[in-house]
Amino acid sequence: MTGRLRGVRPEPDRDSAPWWEAVRRHELTVQRCGGCGTLRFPARSVCNRCRSRVSTWTRALGTGRVYSWIVNHQAFLPGMRDEVPFPVVLVRLDDGDDLLMYGNLVEGDPAELTPGMPVEAVFEDVDDELTLVQWRPRR
Amino acid sequence: MVFRDRAAIAGVGYTPFSRDSGVSTLTLAVDAILAALDDAGLGVDDVDALATHRVGDSTPPWVVAPALGVPEVTWYLDQFGGGSVSHSVVGQAAMAVAAGVARTVVCYRAINARSEFRMGGTGRGPAPLYDVQYQAPYGHLAPPQQFAMFARAHMNAYGTTGEQLGHIAVTQRANAVKNPRALKRDPITLDDYLASRWIAEPLRLLDCCLETDGACAVVVTSRERARDLRWPPVLVSGAVWGGGDSFFSGTGTDFTVTEAARVAPRLYAMAGVGPGDIDVAELYDCFTYSVLVQLEDYGFCTKGEGGPYAASGAIALDGELPVNTHGGFLSEGYVHGINHIAEAVAQLRGTAGDRQVPGAEVALSTAQPGYVLAGTSALILRADR
Protein backbone atom coordinates (compact mmCIF):
# COMPACT_ATOMS: atom_id res chain seq x y z
CA MET A 1 0.00 0.00 0.00
CA THR A 2 1.09 3.58 -0.43
CA GLY A 3 1.23 5.93 2.50
CA ARG A 4 2.37 9.28 3.79
CA LEU A 5 5.09 10.41 6.11
CA ARG A 6 3.42 11.93 9.17
CA GLY A 7 6.69 12.80 10.83
CA VAL A 8 10.28 13.14 9.70
CA ARG A 9 12.34 10.93 7.40
CA PRO A 10 14.24 8.25 9.28
CA GLU A 11 18.02 8.42 9.28
CA PRO A 12 19.28 4.83 9.38
CA ASP A 13 22.61 4.28 11.12
CA ARG A 14 25.31 1.72 10.34
CA ASP A 15 23.60 -0.87 12.52
CA SER A 16 20.04 -0.29 11.37
CA ALA A 17 20.56 0.03 7.61
CA PRO A 18 19.86 -3.69 6.97
CA TRP A 19 16.55 -3.42 8.85
CA TRP A 20 15.41 -0.46 6.79
CA GLU A 21 16.53 -2.21 3.57
CA ALA A 22 14.44 -5.24 4.53
CA VAL A 23 11.43 -3.04 5.25
CA ARG A 24 11.93 -1.57 1.79
CA ARG A 25 11.55 -5.15 0.46
CA HIS A 26 8.39 -5.54 2.59
CA GLU A 27 10.10 -7.90 5.02
CA LEU A 28 9.84 -7.46 8.79
CA THR A 29 13.04 -8.63 10.46
CA VAL A 30 14.70 -8.72 13.85
CA GLN A 31 18.29 -9.60 14.76
CA ARG A 32 19.20 -13.04 16.08
CA CYS A 33 22.34 -13.22 18.19
CA GLY A 34 24.91 -15.67 16.81
CA GLY A 35 26.18 -16.35 20.30
CA CYS A 36 23.12 -17.03 22.43
CA GLY A 37 20.23 -16.93 19.95
CA THR A 38 18.42 -14.05 21.63
CA LEU A 39 16.25 -11.97 19.31
CA ARG A 40 16.71 -8.22 19.50
CA PHE A 41 15.31 -4.99 18.17
CA PRO A 42 16.27 -2.24 17.52
CA ALA A 43 19.42 -2.89 15.58
CA ARG A 44 22.64 -3.15 17.53
CA SER A 45 26.10 -4.49 16.70
CA VAL A 46 26.47 -6.28 20.02
CA CYS A 47 24.25 -8.60 22.09
CA ASN A 48 23.53 -7.14 25.53
CA ARG A 49 23.30 -10.64 27.06
CA CYS A 50 26.38 -12.47 25.75
CA ARG A 51 28.28 -9.61 24.08
CA SER A 52 28.61 -11.56 20.83
CA ARG A 53 29.25 -9.43 17.75
CA VAL A 54 27.85 -12.13 15.47
CA SER A 55 24.24 -11.82 14.38
CA THR A 56 21.90 -12.53 11.51
CA TRP A 57 18.73 -10.83 10.38
CA THR A 58 15.77 -13.17 10.59
CA ARG A 59 12.17 -12.86 9.45
CA ALA A 60 9.77 -11.90 12.20
CA LEU A 61 6.27 -13.36 12.38
CA GLY A 62 4.82 -10.01 11.38
CA THR A 63 2.24 -10.14 14.14
CA GLY A 64 2.01 -8.68 17.60
CA ARG A 65 -0.23 -7.30 20.30
CA VAL A 66 -1.00 -3.70 21.11
CA TYR A 67 0.80 -2.72 24.29
CA SER A 68 -0.09 0.96 24.33
CA TRP A 69 -1.28 3.71 22.01
CA ILE A 70 -2.02 7.39 21.68
CA VAL A 71 -4.22 9.48 19.47
CA ASN A 72 -2.20 12.52 18.57
CA HIS A 73 -4.06 15.81 18.19
CA GLN A 74 -1.30 18.42 18.25
CA ALA A 75 0.51 19.36 15.03
CA PHE A 76 4.04 19.21 16.42
CA LEU A 77 5.45 19.78 12.95
CA PRO A 78 3.91 22.00 10.28
CA GLY A 79 3.44 18.97 8.01
CA MET A 80 1.17 17.28 10.56
CA ARG A 81 -1.61 19.83 10.29
CA ASP A 82 -3.49 17.85 7.68
CA GLU A 83 -2.90 14.55 9.46
CA VAL A 84 -4.21 15.14 12.99
CA PRO A 85 -5.76 13.41 14.76
CA PHE A 86 -3.82 10.22 14.06
CA PRO A 87 -3.13 7.11 16.15
CA VAL A 88 0.31 5.76 17.07
CA VAL A 89 0.54 2.23 18.44
CA LEU A 90 3.29 0.52 20.39
CA VAL A 91 3.27 -3.16 19.50
CA ARG A 92 4.83 -6.06 21.37
CA LEU A 93 5.89 -8.56 18.71
CA ASP A 94 4.71 -12.15 18.99
CA ASP A 95 8.36 -13.15 18.46
CA GLY A 96 9.34 -12.05 21.97
CA ASP A 97 8.18 -9.97 24.91
CA ASP A 98 11.04 -7.47 24.76
CA LEU A 99 10.62 -6.73 21.07
CA LEU A 100 8.58 -3.57 20.55
CA MET A 101 7.90 -1.51 17.47
CA TYR A 102 6.06 1.73 16.90
CA GLY A 103 3.79 2.51 13.99
CA ASN A 104 0.54 4.11 12.99
CA LEU A 105 -2.71 2.17 13.08
CA VAL A 106 -3.58 2.39 9.40
CA GLU A 107 -6.87 0.48 9.38
CA GLY A 108 -9.69 0.30 11.88
CA ASP A 109 -11.02 2.73 14.44
CA PRO A 110 -8.60 3.92 17.13
CA ALA A 111 -11.54 4.12 19.54
CA GLU A 112 -11.70 0.32 19.36
CA LEU A 113 -8.10 -0.24 20.39
CA THR A 114 -7.75 -2.42 23.47
CA PRO A 115 -4.68 -3.67 25.35
CA GLY A 116 -3.44 -6.93 23.90
CA MET A 117 -5.37 -6.51 20.65
CA PRO A 118 -3.81 -8.66 17.91
CA VAL A 119 -2.35 -6.67 15.04
CA GLU A 120 -0.32 -7.44 11.94
CA ALA A 121 2.34 -5.52 10.09
CA VAL A 122 1.64 -3.88 6.75
CA PHE A 123 4.11 -2.05 4.56
CA GLU A 124 3.49 1.49 3.40
CA ASP A 125 5.51 2.70 0.43
CA VAL A 126 6.01 6.40 1.07
CA ASP A 127 8.05 7.23 -2.03
CA ASP A 128 10.72 5.73 -4.29
CA GLU A 129 13.14 5.28 -1.41
CA LEU A 130 11.21 4.86 1.80
CA THR A 131 8.89 2.19 3.13
CA LEU A 132 7.42 2.17 6.64
CA VAL A 133 6.12 -0.67 8.80
CA GLN A 134 2.57 0.06 9.88
CA TRP A 135 -0.07 -1.92 11.79
CA ARG A 136 -3.65 -2.98 11.34
CA PRO A 137 -6.03 -5.19 13.33
CA ARG A 138 -5.26 -8.83 12.67
CA ARG A 139 -7.85 -10.48 10.52
CA MET B 1 28.67 7.19 53.83
CA VAL B 2 31.47 9.63 53.00
CA PHE B 3 29.40 11.78 50.64
CA ARG B 4 26.36 12.39 52.82
CA ASP B 5 25.91 15.98 54.03
CA ARG B 6 29.39 17.13 53.02
CA ALA B 7 28.19 19.64 50.42
CA ALA B 8 25.46 22.24 50.77
CA ILE B 9 23.37 24.58 48.70
CA ALA B 10 24.14 28.08 49.90
CA GLY B 11 22.43 30.28 47.34
CA VAL B 12 19.54 30.29 44.88
CA GLY B 13 18.85 32.73 42.06
CA TYR B 14 16.27 33.19 39.34
CA THR B 15 15.55 35.37 36.38
CA PRO B 16 11.90 36.18 35.80
CA PHE B 17 10.02 33.43 33.98
CA SER B 18 8.26 34.45 30.78
CA ARG B 19 7.14 33.41 27.31
CA ASP B 20 9.73 35.67 25.69
CA SER B 21 12.72 36.84 27.67
CA GLY B 22 13.98 39.07 24.87
CA VAL B 23 17.58 38.25 25.84
CA SER B 24 20.14 35.54 25.10
CA THR B 25 20.56 32.40 27.19
CA LEU B 26 23.99 33.79 28.14
CA THR B 27 22.31 36.84 29.65
CA LEU B 28 19.81 34.62 31.46
CA ALA B 29 22.63 32.45 32.84
CA VAL B 30 24.62 35.45 34.04
CA ASP B 31 21.60 37.04 35.71
CA ALA B 32 20.58 33.86 37.54
CA ILE B 33 24.14 33.14 38.66
CA LEU B 34 24.67 36.66 39.97
CA ALA B 35 21.35 36.46 41.83
CA ALA B 36 22.34 33.11 43.37
CA LEU B 37 25.76 34.42 44.45
CA ASP B 38 24.13 37.50 45.97
CA ASP B 39 21.65 35.26 47.81
CA ALA B 40 24.57 33.29 49.25
CA GLY B 41 26.53 36.39 50.16
CA LEU B 42 29.28 35.55 47.68
CA GLY B 43 30.75 37.23 44.61
CA VAL B 44 32.12 36.17 41.23
CA ASP B 45 35.65 36.11 42.67
CA ASP B 46 34.56 33.25 44.94
CA VAL B 47 33.49 31.05 42.01
CA ASP B 48 35.88 28.36 40.84
CA ALA B 49 33.52 25.93 39.09
CA LEU B 50 30.44 25.92 36.87
CA ALA B 51 28.01 23.16 35.95
CA THR B 52 25.11 22.88 33.54
CA HIS B 53 23.34 20.56 31.12
CA ARG B 54 21.90 21.24 27.71
CA VAL B 55 20.63 19.74 24.48
CA GLY B 56 22.00 22.32 22.09
CA ASP B 57 19.70 24.93 23.58
CA SER B 58 21.84 26.95 25.98
CA THR B 59 25.21 28.56 26.70
CA PRO B 60 28.02 26.38 28.07
CA PRO B 61 30.25 27.04 31.09
CA TRP B 62 33.25 27.95 28.95
CA VAL B 63 31.27 30.89 27.57
CA VAL B 64 29.54 31.87 30.81
CA ALA B 65 32.72 31.85 32.93
CA PRO B 66 34.62 34.49 30.92
CA ALA B 67 31.42 36.50 30.48
CA LEU B 68 31.12 36.67 34.27
CA GLY B 69 34.83 37.29 34.77
CA VAL B 70 35.45 34.17 36.86
CA PRO B 71 39.14 34.40 37.84
CA GLU B 72 39.97 30.74 37.24
CA VAL B 73 37.86 27.67 36.52
CA THR B 74 39.15 24.59 38.31
CA TRP B 75 36.29 22.26 37.38
CA TYR B 76 33.31 22.41 35.09
CA LEU B 77 30.53 20.18 33.82
CA ASP B 78 28.77 20.60 30.49
CA GLN B 79 26.50 17.60 30.47
CA PHE B 80 24.47 16.50 27.49
CA GLY B 81 20.84 15.94 28.29
CA GLY B 82 17.51 17.40 29.20
CA GLY B 83 15.36 16.93 32.25
CA SER B 84 16.59 13.47 33.16
CA VAL B 85 20.08 14.75 34.01
CA SER B 86 18.94 17.98 35.71
CA HIS B 87 19.60 16.77 39.22
CA SER B 88 22.85 15.04 38.37
CA VAL B 89 24.34 18.47 37.65
CA VAL B 90 23.89 19.50 41.28
CA GLY B 91 24.79 16.00 42.46
CA GLN B 92 28.07 16.08 40.57
CA ALA B 93 28.80 19.58 41.84
CA ALA B 94 28.32 18.27 45.37
CA MET B 95 30.63 15.39 44.56
CA ALA B 96 33.30 17.79 43.24
CA VAL B 97 33.04 19.81 46.45
CA ALA B 98 33.13 16.71 48.64
CA ALA B 99 36.20 15.50 46.75
CA GLY B 100 37.96 18.81 47.24
CA VAL B 101 38.14 19.44 43.50
CA ALA B 102 35.99 22.55 43.63
CA ARG B 103 35.16 25.05 46.36
CA THR B 104 32.25 27.08 44.99
CA VAL B 105 30.24 25.66 42.10
CA VAL B 106 27.50 27.60 40.36
CA CYS B 107 24.98 25.22 38.78
CA TYR B 108 22.65 26.77 36.24
CA ARG B 109 20.13 26.06 33.53
CA ALA B 110 19.29 28.92 31.17
CA ILE B 111 16.80 28.47 28.33
CA ASN B 112 14.52 30.31 26.01
CA ALA B 113 12.32 27.26 25.86
CA ARG B 114 9.31 29.15 24.58
CA SER B 115 10.69 31.84 22.30
CA GLU B 116 13.64 29.93 20.79
CA PHE B 117 13.94 26.17 21.37
CA ARG B 118 10.66 24.49 22.26
CA MET B 119 10.91 20.99 23.68
CA GLY B 120 7.42 20.41 22.32
CA GLY B 121 8.65 20.82 18.79
CA THR B 122 6.23 22.99 16.85
CA GLY B 123 8.38 23.50 13.84
CA ARG B 124 11.68 21.81 14.49
CA GLY B 125 12.64 18.18 14.09
CA PRO B 126 13.42 15.84 16.97
CA ALA B 127 16.78 15.78 18.72
CA PRO B 128 19.23 13.42 16.97
CA LEU B 129 19.01 10.56 19.44
CA TYR B 130 19.65 6.95 18.57
CA ASP B 131 16.05 5.80 18.89
CA VAL B 132 14.40 8.59 16.93
CA GLN B 133 14.49 6.74 13.61
CA TYR B 134 11.98 4.17 14.90
CA GLN B 135 9.40 6.69 16.08
CA ALA B 136 9.70 10.00 14.28
CA PRO B 137 8.60 8.74 10.84
CA TYR B 138 5.21 7.96 12.42
CA GLY B 139 4.80 11.47 13.75
CA HIS B 140 5.79 10.27 17.22
CA LEU B 141 8.56 12.62 18.29
CA ALA B 142 7.45 15.03 21.01
CA PRO B 143 7.65 14.46 24.77
CA PRO B 144 3.86 14.72 25.31
CA GLN B 145 3.39 11.85 22.87
CA GLN B 146 5.97 9.68 24.58
CA PHE B 147 4.51 10.27 28.03
CA ALA B 148 0.99 9.77 26.71
CA MET B 149 2.10 6.35 25.49
CA PHE B 150 3.40 5.46 28.96
CA ALA B 151 0.33 6.91 30.69
CA ARG B 152 -1.88 4.69 28.52
CA ALA B 153 0.21 1.66 29.43
CA HIS B 154 -0.36 2.52 33.11
CA MET B 155 -4.08 2.95 32.51
CA ASN B 156 -4.17 -0.41 30.74
CA ALA B 157 -2.36 -2.15 33.59
CA TYR B 158 -3.90 -0.49 36.65
CA GLY B 159 -7.08 1.30 35.63
CA THR B 160 -5.53 4.73 36.16
CA THR B 161 -7.88 7.49 34.98
CA GLY B 162 -7.73 10.92 33.43
CA GLU B 163 -9.52 12.33 36.48
CA GLN B 164 -6.68 11.10 38.67
CA LEU B 165 -4.17 12.89 36.45
CA GLY B 166 -6.42 15.93 36.68
CA HIS B 167 -6.14 16.01 40.47
CA ILE B 168 -2.39 16.51 40.06
CA ALA B 169 -2.89 19.47 37.72
CA VAL B 170 -5.52 21.05 40.00
CA THR B 171 -3.43 20.55 43.15
CA GLN B 172 -0.31 22.05 41.65
CA ARG B 173 -2.22 25.04 40.33
CA ALA B 174 -3.58 25.69 43.81
CA ASN B 175 0.05 25.84 44.98
CA ALA B 176 1.00 28.19 42.16
CA VAL B 177 -1.72 30.59 43.27
CA LYS B 178 0.43 31.09 46.39
CA ASN B 179 3.66 31.56 44.43
CA PRO B 180 4.37 35.08 43.11
CA ARG B 181 6.94 33.66 40.67
CA ALA B 182 4.48 31.31 38.99
CA LEU B 183 3.39 31.98 35.42
CA LYS B 184 -0.05 30.41 35.93
CA ARG B 185 -1.86 31.72 38.99
CA ASP B 186 -5.55 31.36 38.12
CA PRO B 187 -7.10 28.45 40.05
CA ILE B 188 -8.45 25.58 37.97
CA THR B 189 -11.04 22.91 38.72
CA LEU B 190 -11.29 19.30 37.68
CA ASP B 191 -13.95 20.38 35.18
CA ASP B 192 -11.51 22.88 33.68
CA TYR B 193 -9.02 20.07 33.38
CA LEU B 194 -11.50 17.72 31.71
CA ALA B 195 -12.55 20.49 29.30
CA SER B 196 -8.99 21.23 28.19
CA ARG B 197 -8.16 20.04 24.70
CA TRP B 198 -6.36 16.86 23.81
CA ILE B 199 -2.69 17.16 23.01
CA ALA B 200 -1.99 13.45 22.65
CA GLU B 201 -4.70 11.24 24.11
CA PRO B 202 -4.76 10.36 26.96
CA LEU B 203 -2.95 13.63 27.82
CA ARG B 204 -4.68 17.02 27.67
CA LEU B 205 -3.29 20.52 27.55
CA LEU B 206 -3.49 20.81 31.34
CA ASP B 207 -1.44 17.62 31.72
CA CYS B 208 1.49 19.37 30.08
CA CYS B 209 4.11 21.61 31.61
CA LEU B 210 4.70 25.13 30.40
CA GLU B 211 7.38 26.01 27.91
CA THR B 212 9.30 28.79 29.59
CA ASP B 213 12.03 31.35 29.00
CA GLY B 214 14.13 31.74 32.10
CA ALA B 215 17.07 30.65 34.17
CA CYS B 216 17.73 29.40 37.65
CA ALA B 217 21.01 28.84 39.46
CA VAL B 218 22.14 27.34 42.75
CA VAL B 219 25.48 27.72 44.57
CA VAL B 220 27.06 24.53 45.93
CA THR B 221 29.85 24.68 48.47
CA SER B 222 31.06 22.78 51.51
CA ARG B 223 28.88 22.45 54.60
CA GLU B 224 31.53 24.15 56.73
CA ARG B 225 31.82 27.12 54.39
CA ALA B 226 28.05 27.37 53.93
CA ARG B 227 27.66 27.75 57.69
CA ASP B 228 29.54 31.05 57.49
CA LEU B 229 27.32 32.42 54.70
CA ARG B 230 23.97 34.18 54.63
CA TRP B 231 21.53 31.29 55.08
CA PRO B 232 21.51 28.10 57.10
CA PRO B 233 22.95 25.45 54.74
CA VAL B 234 20.71 23.06 52.85
CA LEU B 235 22.69 19.83 52.85
CA VAL B 236 22.98 17.43 49.95
CA SER B 237 22.26 14.25 51.88
CA GLY B 238 21.89 12.00 48.88
CA ALA B 239 22.45 12.33 45.17
CA VAL B 240 21.90 9.69 42.56
CA TRP B 241 22.03 9.46 38.82
CA GLY B 242 21.78 6.34 36.76
CA GLY B 243 19.37 3.74 35.52
CA GLY B 244 20.05 1.49 32.59
CA ASP B 245 16.95 0.92 30.52
CA SER B 246 15.34 3.12 27.91
CA PHE B 247 12.26 2.42 25.87
CA PHE B 248 14.39 0.67 23.29
CA SER B 249 16.92 -1.16 25.43
CA GLY B 250 15.28 -4.49 24.73
CA THR B 251 15.08 -5.16 28.45
CA GLY B 252 12.88 -3.69 31.15
CA THR B 253 10.04 -3.14 28.69
CA ASP B 254 7.33 -2.74 31.32
CA PHE B 255 6.76 0.95 30.74
CA THR B 256 4.63 1.36 33.86
CA VAL B 257 7.87 1.37 35.86
CA THR B 258 10.50 4.09 35.50
CA GLU B 259 14.18 4.27 36.25
CA ALA B 260 13.21 6.04 39.47
CA ALA B 261 12.24 2.66 40.92
CA ARG B 262 15.78 1.45 40.27
CA VAL B 263 17.64 4.43 41.76
CA ALA B 264 15.32 5.17 44.69
CA PRO B 265 16.63 2.50 47.11
CA ARG B 266 20.21 3.67 46.53
CA LEU B 267 19.22 7.31 47.04
CA TYR B 268 17.38 6.64 50.30
CA ALA B 269 20.21 4.49 51.62
CA MET B 270 22.73 7.16 50.76
CA ALA B 271 20.79 9.80 52.68
CA GLY B 272 19.88 7.44 55.52
CA VAL B 273 16.15 8.14 55.21
CA GLY B 274 13.06 6.47 53.77
CA PRO B 275 9.95 7.65 51.95
CA GLY B 276 8.22 8.24 55.28
CA ASP B 277 10.85 10.82 56.23
CA ILE B 278 10.22 13.04 53.21
CA ASP B 279 8.41 16.25 54.22
CA VAL B 280 8.24 17.79 50.75
CA ALA B 281 8.56 16.13 47.33
CA GLU B 282 9.35 18.14 44.23
CA LEU B 283 8.68 15.49 41.56
CA TYR B 284 9.56 16.13 37.94
CA ASP B 285 6.33 17.14 36.28
CA CYS B 286 6.94 17.52 32.59
CA PHE B 287 3.47 15.92 32.59
CA THR B 288 1.00 15.00 35.31
CA TYR B 289 1.69 11.36 34.61
CA SER B 290 5.37 11.65 35.51
CA VAL B 291 4.27 12.75 39.00
CA LEU B 292 1.83 9.86 39.32
CA VAL B 293 4.36 7.20 38.40
CA GLN B 294 7.05 8.68 40.65
CA LEU B 295 4.69 8.56 43.64
CA GLU B 296 4.88 4.82 43.12
CA ASP B 297 8.51 4.48 42.10
CA TYR B 298 9.87 6.56 45.01
CA GLY B 299 7.87 4.40 47.37
CA PHE B 300 5.11 6.73 48.59
CA CYS B 301 2.47 4.19 47.55
CA THR B 302 2.48 0.75 45.97
CA LYS B 303 2.75 0.13 42.23
CA GLY B 304 -0.55 0.84 40.57
CA GLU B 305 -1.87 3.01 43.41
CA GLY B 306 -0.42 6.31 42.18
CA GLY B 307 -3.74 7.42 40.73
CA PRO B 308 -5.88 6.86 43.84
CA TYR B 309 -3.07 8.27 46.00
CA ALA B 310 -2.89 11.47 43.94
CA ALA B 311 -6.67 11.85 44.00
CA SER B 312 -6.88 11.32 47.77
CA GLY B 313 -5.57 14.76 48.70
CA ALA B 314 -2.31 13.31 50.02
CA ILE B 315 -0.21 15.44 47.67
CA ALA B 316 -1.82 18.78 48.58
CA LEU B 317 0.03 21.40 50.64
CA ASP B 318 -1.83 20.22 53.74
CA GLY B 319 -1.63 16.54 52.80
CA GLU B 320 0.74 13.88 54.07
CA LEU B 321 3.15 14.45 51.19
CA PRO B 322 3.05 17.98 49.75
CA VAL B 323 4.16 17.69 46.11
CA ASN B 324 5.40 20.44 43.80
CA THR B 325 4.72 23.14 46.33
CA HIS B 326 5.61 25.96 43.91
CA GLY B 327 3.17 24.75 41.28
CA GLY B 328 5.82 22.78 39.46
CA PHE B 329 6.60 22.90 35.79
CA LEU B 330 2.88 22.70 35.11
CA SER B 331 2.20 26.09 36.69
CA GLU B 332 5.33 27.86 37.95
CA GLY B 333 7.49 27.44 34.87
CA TYR B 334 9.75 24.88 33.28
CA VAL B 335 13.50 25.24 33.67
CA HIS B 336 14.03 21.50 33.22
CA GLY B 337 14.41 20.55 36.85
CA ILE B 338 16.59 23.09 38.61
CA ASN B 339 13.61 25.15 39.77
CA HIS B 340 12.46 22.06 41.70
CA ILE B 341 15.77 22.12 43.56
CA ALA B 342 15.44 25.84 44.22
CA GLU B 343 11.93 25.36 45.63
CA ALA B 344 13.13 22.54 47.88
CA VAL B 345 15.78 24.92 49.22
CA ALA B 346 13.14 27.56 49.98
CA GLN B 347 11.02 24.99 51.80
CA LEU B 348 13.97 23.80 53.88
CA ARG B 349 15.00 27.35 54.72
CA GLY B 350 11.42 28.05 55.75
CA THR B 351 11.14 30.98 53.34
CA ALA B 352 8.41 29.69 51.02
CA GLY B 353 5.84 32.19 52.23
CA ASP B 354 2.17 31.28 51.80
CA ARG B 355 3.09 27.89 50.41
CA GLN B 356 5.51 26.95 53.21
CA VAL B 357 5.15 23.42 54.54
CA PRO B 358 5.48 23.89 58.31
CA GLY B 359 8.63 22.40 59.76
CA ALA B 360 9.90 20.89 56.51
CA GLU B 361 13.29 19.29 57.19
CA VAL B 362 13.83 16.71 54.45
CA ALA B 363 13.01 17.15 50.77
CA LEU B 364 13.15 14.90 47.73
CA SER B 365 13.70 16.58 44.38
CA THR B 366 13.70 14.54 41.20
CA ALA B 367 14.48 14.61 37.49
CA GLN B 368 12.60 13.21 34.53
CA PRO B 369 12.22 9.61 35.63
CA GLY B 370 13.80 7.81 32.74
CA TYR B 371 12.74 6.40 29.38
CA VAL B 372 14.82 8.85 27.41
CA LEU B 373 18.61 8.59 27.83
CA ALA B 374 18.13 5.46 29.98
CA GLY B 375 18.40 7.15 33.33
CA THR B 376 17.24 9.66 35.87
CA SER B 377 18.69 11.68 38.72
CA ALA B 378 17.49 12.90 42.10
CA LEU B 379 18.54 14.59 45.32
CA ILE B 380 17.59 14.32 48.96
CA LEU B 381 18.19 17.64 50.70
CA ARG B 382 18.12 18.33 54.42
CA ALA B 383 17.93 21.46 56.52
CA ASP B 384 21.04 22.04 58.65
CA ARG B 385 19.54 23.90 61.56
Cβ of residue B143 closer than 8 Å to a chain A Cβ: no
Q: Which of A9, A24, A44, A74 should be substituted to probe chain B, the one whose Cβ sees the most B Cβ atoms within 10 Å?
A: A74
Tell if the CB–CB gap between B138 and A7 is shorter than 8 Å: yes
Chain A CB contacts of B250 under 8 Å are: 40-42, 44, 48, 98-99
Check if B108 is active-site: no
Chain B CB contacts of A103 below 8 Å: 138
CB contact under 8 A, A104 and B138: yes
C-beta separation of B108 from B33 below 8 A: yes
Per-residue confidence (pLDDT) for residue A72, from 0 to 100: 97
Report whether pLDDT(A71) > 90.
Answer: yes
Looking at chain A, the whole-number percentage of residues with pLDDT higher than 90 is 83
- What is the distance between the alpha carbons of residues B12 and B38, in angstroms, rounded to a whole number? 9
DSSP state of B321: S
- Chain B closest CA to A65's CA: distance in Å? 13
Sign (positive/negative) of CA torsion A9, A14, A15, A19?
A: positive
Angle formed by the axes of helices B288-297 and B143-158, nearest 10°: 50
Average pLDDT, chain A: 94
B131 vs A: CB within 8 A: yes
Q: Please tell me the number of Cα atoms within 13 Å of B204 on its side-chain side.
A: 19
Cα separation, B103 vs B36, whole angstroms: 15
Query: Does A71 contact B156 at a Cβ distance shorter than 8 Å?
Result: no
Question: Closest residue of A to B124, CA-based?
Answer: A77
By CA distance, what is B158's nearest residue in A? A115
Query: How large is the angle between the packed helices B288-297 and B259-271, nearest 10 degrees?
Result: 50
Kindly report the pTM of this predicted structure: 0.95
Q: What is the C-alpha to C-alpha distance for residues B103 and B93, in angstroms, rounded to an integer?
A: 10
**What mean pLDDT comes out for the span A33-42?**
95
In three-state secondary structure terms, B90 is helix
Give the model's pLDDT for residue B266: 96
- Give me the tens of pLDDT residue by residue for chain B, a chain 385 residues long: 679 999 999 999 999 999 999 999 999 999 999 999 999 999 999 999 999 999 889 999 999 999 999 999 999 999 998 899 999 999 999 999 999 999 999 999 999 999 988 877 655 655 556 678 999 999 998 999 999 999 999 999 999 999 999 999 999 999 999 999 999 999 999 999 999 999 999 999 999 999 999 999 999 999 999 999 999 999 999 999 998 776 666 667 888 999 999 999 999 999 999 999 999 999 999 999 999 999 999 999 999 999 999 999 999 999 999 999 999 999 999 999 999 999 999 999 999 999 999 999 999 999 999 865 568 999 999 999 7
For residues A108-112, give the mean pLDDT.
95
Strands B49-54 and A131-137: unpaired
Q: How far is CA A31 from CA A44, B109, B132, B181, B199, in A?
A: 8, 40, 19, 52, 35
Q: How far apart are CA B211 and CA B287, in angstroms?
A: 12
Residue B139 at interface with chain A, using a CB cutoff of 8 Å: yes
CB < 8 Å to B123, chain A:
77-78
Active site annotation includes B14:
no
- In A, minimum Cα distance to B200 occurs at A72
B145 lies within 8 A of chain A by CB:
yes
Q: Which chain A residues are closer than 8 Å to B248 by Cβ?
A: 42, 100
- What is residue B125's predicted lDDT score, i.e. its pLDDT? 59
Provide the shortest C-alpha distance from residue A54 to chain B (in Å): 17
User: Which chain B residues are within 8 Å of A97, Cβ to Cβ?
Assistant: 253
Q: Which of B14, B76, B193, B284 is catalytic?
A: B284
Judge whether residue A1 has pLDDT over 80.
Answer: no
The pLDDT assigned to A139 comes to 82
